[in-house]
Amino acid sequence: DIMNSPFTAIGGAEMIDELVNAFYKRVAKHPDLAPIFPDDLTETARKQKQFLTQFLGGPALYSEEHGHPMLRARHLKFPIGPRQAKAWLSCMHEAMEEVSLDPDYREGIFRRLTLTAHHMVNLEDENS
């Protein structure tokens, strides 16, 4: 039920907007992430807002426009090692703090994102 979803509870589209903007601001500056992302993150952020909306129980915006997420498959063309997963999660953790994501939901959401991030890993770190 949409009214009981974390999406609604944390502040809906407005909060997803703030969170994703705070997140990509960090991705753009992170030495382990910036090189594999496009210079212009506008479209990337738009898709991530759609995805997180449905991931958190809101309307299925991502699937309506792009079909099944198949996230691991969509990430295979990018080199993602444990280092990149850790960087992604640290940018997300900081973004959650910046936007003061509801502490009642933060840990659960972060745990789910951690599982998803580890699922995206498709190569070993070179120097670790």
**Residue ranges for the binding site?**
118
CA distances from 32 to 57, 69, 83, 104, 113 (A): 30, 24, 7, 30, 18
- Output the smallest distance, CB 71 to ligand HEM, in A: 6
Q: How many residues bind ligand HEM (CB under 6 A)?
A: 22
The answer to whether 49 contacts ligand HEM (rule: CB under 6 A) is no
* CA contacts within 13 A on the Cβ side of 125: 9
Rounded to whole angstroms, the Cα distance separating 108 from 117 reads 14
Residue 12 CB contacts under 8 Å (≥ 6 apart), including other chains = 58
Among 38, 64, 104, 107, binds ligand HEM (CB under 6 A): 38
The answer to whether 46 contacts ligand HEM (rule: CB under 6 A) is no
Among 2, 36, 76, 123, binds ligand HEM (CB under 6 A): 36
SS3 state of residue 103: helix
- Output the smallest distance, CB 33 to ligand HEM, in A: 6
Site string for ligand HEM, 5-34 (x = CB under 6 A): ----------------------------x-
